[in-house]
Amino acid sequence: MTGRAQAGVPGVGRLHTWRAAIRIARRDAMRFKGRSLLVLAMIALPIMGVSAVDVTIRSSQLTTAETATRELGAADARISDAGHGPQPVYQEAVPGGVVPVQQNPGGKAAAKEVTVTEPDGSVAVAGEITPPVDPLVALPAGAHRLSDAFIYAPVRTRFGLLNVEIRELKAADPIAAGIAELDRGRFPAAADEMAATNGFLKSSGLHVGSQVRVRGLDRSYRIVGAYDLPSQLDAEQLNALPGAFIPPYEATRSTAERAMDPSGVPTYLVSVRGDFTWDMVKRANTLGVQVDSRAVRLHPPARADVPIYRTDFGDPVLYDSGDVRPKAVAAGVTIAGLSMLEICLLAGPAFAVGARRSRRQLGLVGANGGDRRHIRAIVLSSGLVLGAAAAVVGTLLGVVATMLLRGTLEGYVGQRFGGLTLRPTELAGVGGLAVLTGLLASVVPAVGAARQSVLASLTGRRGVRRANRFLPVAGLLLLGLGVAVVFCATMLTDSTYSAVLGAALAEAGLVMLTSAIIGAFGRLGRWLPLAPRLALRDAVRNRGRTAPAVAAVLAAVAGSVAVASYAASQAQEDRQAYVARLPHGEVAVGANGEAAGDLAQVRAAVEKNYPVTGRVDVSRVYVGGASCLKDEGLPGCGRIEMRMPPANVCPSSGPTGAHRLTVAQREALVHDWRCALRWGPSAISASDGVLVGGPAVLHALGVRDGAAEQALARGETVLFDRAYADHGSVKFTVIADVTKESQDGTEPAGAVKSLPVHLAAEEEPYGVVAVVPRRAADAAGFTTTPLGSYYTTSQMPSGAQRQALNSDVAKIGTRAEVYLERGYIGHGNLVLVALTLFAGVITIGAAGIATGLAQTDAEPDLRTLAAIGAPGQVRRTLTGFQCGVVAVMGVVLGSAAGVLPAIALRRGDQHRRWDEYRRELDEGWGAVTPPKVPLVVPWATLALLVVVVPLGAGLLAALVTRSRPDLGRRAEG
């Protein structure tokens, strides 16, 4: 016998104890591989995701040198016009702000007027521009250069028109190396060739070898290669040789357009001997040229050496970690916390199963002198071991997955990674989360196992542990606190965050109360048949194992129900807020501005693809020369505006109207007809909602008003808003030039035309305020132009017909709009389905784990049942009900708990809307309606969760259970 050994220093002794505990846990984990793998997967999967996200984010953050290469290629610098004319400027070291050294009052140097020559020969000033500077004036002697210019142009694709950046850069030149990565084919070598980004090829439906045509240009280009921009993989860009596209395309634009939009001006990539130093940059600045230098990016000058910071330009903007939005961090922490809670709740029962199966072993440890501390250490070690294994496996898998899926991830992030960046401290932190999760999940089973008496563990006596008395009381308090916070947050403030926090507190309280609530479920037992009664009683008597599983289901279901309720409520609100633009099933074609020329083609496309039964054409009034048809905003172009008699003007409208009234008066005006909301959305938009057309327009708008039709036929204008009626007439102000219109809200100046009017009984059908018969328009001296058509249909066009029409309209390459009134169409059903599925999977998983645990305990009962002659299926039935009971309790409690956050969020919305409403009233917006924020319970989702999921879980458990009892020897320690 060896002599008594001393334990030594207490801390060291404790460490030795833990080593023994970890050894037992590690070997046990290897012995029970199935259970270990289950827990490992539960913890490792989220860890894999988080570490993959970390590696992806870090890899996508480029170094300064990598960023410089992507923007400058192999060049030393890029020189460009600083945009302030030929005068000295100051610039930031890394390109950003530029200011002229001498600031003139206008802020711009020597601005030059740009004029427009009208078709009638008149000349108007279109605006002012700063004269351009040729960057080559700052080219150092002996430097190599490569021009780089781009312009946007409408390119014809297989689906229509696409506004695409066309870049003139000799991408194959060594100076440009690194800017564009050739994927296949080659870069253009001739003037009729182009290369295209994969992003462009994807969205245009074209391919290498296709011909590209640009609208308005009478030549085509052959695509000879595909490339990517490493920092913008989804970029839609075409590449041409310098001079191959921009000069011929510029020739198609008017001088004024070119002057007002001077794109296509080249910058130059420059290669010099040595570096392009900060001194060279400052020299270039003296000539009005801005420089983006690689050397300066890599080694920025001291702040004192950057003159721009000595001007009133201010200090450089510094981005640091403090810039991270706290709300995003809070959201991240909340999501991570809830995920950890969910994993703990799911993995907890698995550890409890382990502890229960190892009770003999733990009893032996107790018999050999292990006290509660040692038993706890052994069970906690199982969490530690599996958590650590999950940390290693999850992190490694995350890194490997990132490496394997690099291409896909780069596509998702939208840029090439600089390299695979692994931050050991961050990955260790992520791994630490796994260890923490494992430990937390095993805390409750560890405490439970330690509370078990050694004797009971050794004899295998099945004791029913007394429920914790503290937990339900704390849960009740937390629930009350949570509900109070929700109430305060929604009734007294509009803090959504507080409301959600309150809901989370309440849910945590409910999780703590689960054990007590399960006890209440037990009272239902007496009315149930044998198998469900046994299952329910067993679940209630063994709350220690039932409660975590029920809580896991509760948490998952509550989250899903909360989102589902909120989404359903919002969908209901959207449905209520939906305003139709046409009678159901009707079609409208509208072509304003430059699209007017495509009207005939679009009409033909509609008539070809849709089952249309009648067409009604409408026109609009326009003011000004022929050029105004294309762009009404040009100088010399005007519009008409309906005049409202002063008596009909809402007293609270106008710049000062609201301030003359008290809040009570403003609230009273909400119900005043003069202050009602006007001008809803219209399928065909015309100035002031005024259409020119005949009686058929009324039919198209769903107006059945014989008197109105007769009035139109008589040549009277039909008015749908009585506010504009002025003693039997309606007055239009003809504004000659919109660019000269006063912006101060006063009555616009111009000739006033008065037209006889008929006031229709109906108010503003589908956003139309007035229909002017052509005769009356002509008589008033208005010039009109076709605006569009209304079509009635024999049936609602099908999805295929809609796609066919969209394709035809895209081929025309027009900006004309075709609108089909299909009524309110909800969206987001997919989210609800996904959430329901998620909750279902968690429910089945948690209930399955709890059932496995219950089976371990129930084996003697089942043997007894078999011994007294119970048929084999009783085992299956009991297992099915054990699973179903956990699922039912979880989903019922979860559904109840989930409605609270939804109420909190909706009440928060309501509070905010009412605040906005009151503010609008205060600010004098008369035409506001009190907000309606409905709260809808998604009964279909709830029914699916409460009925179908538990049923499925129970059936699944019953199916996978053996009907014959286990005749093997009793489980080892």
Partner 1 sequence: MSSQPTPPAEPRDPSHPAAGGPSTTGPTASTASTAPDRAVEPVLSLQELTRVHGTGAAQVHALRGIDLDVYPGELVAVMGPSGSGKSTLLTIAGGLDLPTSGRVVVEGTDLTMARRKDIAALRRRSIGYVFQDYNLIPALTAAENVALPRELDGVSSRRGRKEALAALEEFGLQELADRFPDEMSGGQQQRVAIARALVGDRRLVLADEPTGALDSETGDAVLALLRSRCDAGAAGILVTHEPRFAAWADRVVFLRDGSVVDMTLRSSAESLLAGGAAQ
Q: Which residues on neighbouring strands pair with residue 115, listed in sequence order?
A: 125
Residue 16 or residue 310: which is nearer to partner 1 going by CB? Answer: 16
CB of 434 vs partner 1, minimal distance in Å? 23
Residue 731 makes CB contacts below 8 A (sequence gap 6+) with 642, 643, 752, 753, 754, 755
Q: Which of helix, strand or coil describes residue 317?
A: coil
Among 274, 369, 529, 646, binds partner 1 (CB under 8 A): 369
Q: Which stretch, 37-45, 299-307, 369-377, 838-846, contacts partner 1 (CB under 8 A)?
A: 369-377
Residue 335 or residue 367: which is nearer to partner 1 going by CB? Answer: 367
- In the region spanning residues 458 to 487, those forming contacts with partner 1, defined by CB under 8 A, are 458
Residue 28 or residue 538: which is nearer to partner 1 going by CB? Answer: 28
Residue 899 makes CB contacts below 8 A (sequence gap 6+) with 561, 562, 565, 937
CA distance linking residue 955 with residue 642, whole number of Å: 70
CB of 439 vs partner 1, minimal distance in Å? 20
The tokens describing 184, both together, are 């296949």
Among 100, 188, 366, 398, binds partner 1 (CB under 8 A): 366
Among 330, 400, 455, 663, binds partner 1 (CB under 8 A): 455
Residue 614 or residue 973: which is nearer to partner 1 going by CB? Answer: 973
Residue 378 or residue 957: which is nearer to partner 1 going by CB? Answer: 378
Residue 329 or residue 455: which is nearer to partner 1 going by CB? Answer: 455
Among 33, 299, 303, 373, binds partner 1 (CB under 8 A): 373
- In the region spanning residues 325 to 364, those forming contacts with partner 1, defined by CB under 8 A, are 360-361, 364
Residue 36 or residue 514: which is nearer to partner 1 going by CB? Answer: 36
Ramachandran region of residue 762, left (φ > 0), alpha (ψ -120 to 50) or beta? Answer: beta
CB of 16 vs partner 1, minimal distance in Å? 5
CB of 954 vs partner 1, minimal distance in Å? 34
- In the region spanning residues 29 to 88, those forming contacts with partner 1, defined by CB under 8 A, are 31
CA distance linking residue 900 with residue 907, whole number of Å: 10
Do residues 768 and 616 touch, judged by C-beta distance below 8 A?
Answer: no
Residue 31 or residue 740: which is nearer to partner 1 going by CB? Answer: 31
Largest CA distance in the chain: 125
CB of 435 vs partner 1, minimal distance in Å? 21
Q: Which stretch, 19-27, 229-237, 912-920, 922-930, contacts partner 1 (CB under 8 A)?
A: 19-27
Q: Which stretch, 453-461, 466-474, 646-654, 878-886, contacts partner 1 (CB under 8 A)?
A: 453-461
447 binds partner 1 (CB under 8 A): no
Q: Which stretch, 182-190, 305-313, 367-375, 522-530, contacts partner 1 (CB under 8 A)?
A: 367-375
367 binds partner 1 (CB under 8 A): yes
968 binds partner 1 (CB under 8 A): no
Q: Which residues on neighbouring strands pair with residue 163, listed in sequence order?
A: 154
CB of 499 vs partner 1, minimal distance in Å? 47
DSSP characters for 802-839? Answer: HHHHHHHHHHHT---EEEE--------HHHHHHHHHHH
Among 5, 123, 141, 664, binds partner 1 (CB under 8 A): 5
Residue 19 or residue 219: which is nearer to partner 1 going by CB? Answer: 19
Residue 382 or residue 490: which is nearer to partner 1 going by CB? Answer: 382
The tokens describing 171, both together, are 């991408």
Token pair 């290498």 is found at: 208
Residue 447 or residue 725: which is nearer to partner 1 going by CB? Answer: 447
Among 100, 225, 264, 370, binds partner 1 (CB under 8 A): 370
Residue 1 or residue 825: which is nearer to partner 1 going by CB? Answer: 1
| Residue 655 DSSP one-character state | T
Torsions phi, psi for 476 (to 5 deg): -65, -45
Residue 63 or residue 453: which is nearer to partner 1 going by CB? Answer: 453
By DSSP bridging, strand 717-719 and strand 751-759 are parallel
Q: Which stretch, 366-374, 659-667, 912-920, 952-960, contacts partner 1 (CB under 8 A)?
A: 366-374
Among 8, 326, 646, 968, binds partner 1 (CB under 8 A): 8
CA distance linking residue 692 with residue 765, whole number of Å: 15
Do residues 649 and 662 touch, judged by C-beta distance below 8 A?
Answer: no
Do residues 221 and 193 touch, judged by C-beta distance below 8 A?
Answer: yes
Give the CB-side neighbour count of residue 842, counting CA atoms within 13 A.
Answer: 31
4 binds partner 1 (CB under 8 A): yes
Q: Which of 265, 164, 17 is nearest to 813 (CA)?
A: 164
| Residue 289 DSSP one-character state | E
How many residues sit close enough to partner 1 to count as binding (CB under 8 A)? 41
2 binds partner 1 (CB under 8 A): yes
CB of 2 vs partner 1, minimal distance in Å? 5
Token pair 């809040």 is found at: 663
Token pair 């609602």 is found at: 796
Token pair 């509370």 is found at: 451
CA distance linking residue 488 with residue 481, whole number of Å: 10
CB of 367 vs partner 1, minimal distance in Å? 4
Among 365, 700, 772, 878, binds partner 1 (CB under 8 A): 365
How many Cβ atoms are within 10 Å of 485's Cβ, its own excluded?
A: 21
Among 164, 224, 385, 454, binds partner 1 (CB under 8 A): 454
| Residue 684 DSSP one-character state | S
Do residues 159 and 204 touch, judged by C-beta distance below 8 A?
Answer: yes
CB of 534 vs partner 1, minimal distance in Å? 24
Q: Which of helix, strand or coil describes residue 254?
A: coil
Do residues 887 and 946 touch, judged by C-beta distance below 8 A?
Answer: no
Q: What is the contact mask toward partner 1 in residues 395 to 434, using x (rule: CB under 8 A)?
A: ----------------------------------------
CB of 19 vs partner 1, minimal distance in Å? 6
What's at 144, amino acid-wise?
A: H
Question: In angstroms, what CA-CA distances link 194 with 159, 269, 590?
Answer: 20, 20, 35
DSSP E strand stretches across 54-136 = 77-81, 89-91, 98-100, 112-117, 123-129
404: buried, middle or exposed (CB in 10 Å: 19+, 13-18, 0-12)?
A: exposed
CA distance linking residue 959 with residue 940, whole number of Å: 27
740 binds partner 1 (CB under 8 A): no
Among 121, 251, 368, 633, binds partner 1 (CB under 8 A): 368
CB of 372 vs partner 1, minimal distance in Å? 7
374 binds partner 1 (CB under 8 A): yes
CB of 366 vs partner 1, minimal distance in Å? 7
Q: Which of 354, 382, 391, 388 is nearest to 23 (CA)?
A: 382
CB of 391 vs partner 1, minimal distance in Å? 22
Q: What is the contact mask toward partner 1 in residues 672 to 691, using x (rule: CB under 8 A)?
A: --------------------
CA distance linking residue 88 with residue 99, whole number of Å: 9
Q: Which residues bind partner 1 (CB under 8 A)?
A: 1-8, 10, 12-14, 16-17, 19-20, 23-24, 26-28, 31, 360-361, 364-374, 453-455, 458, 972-973
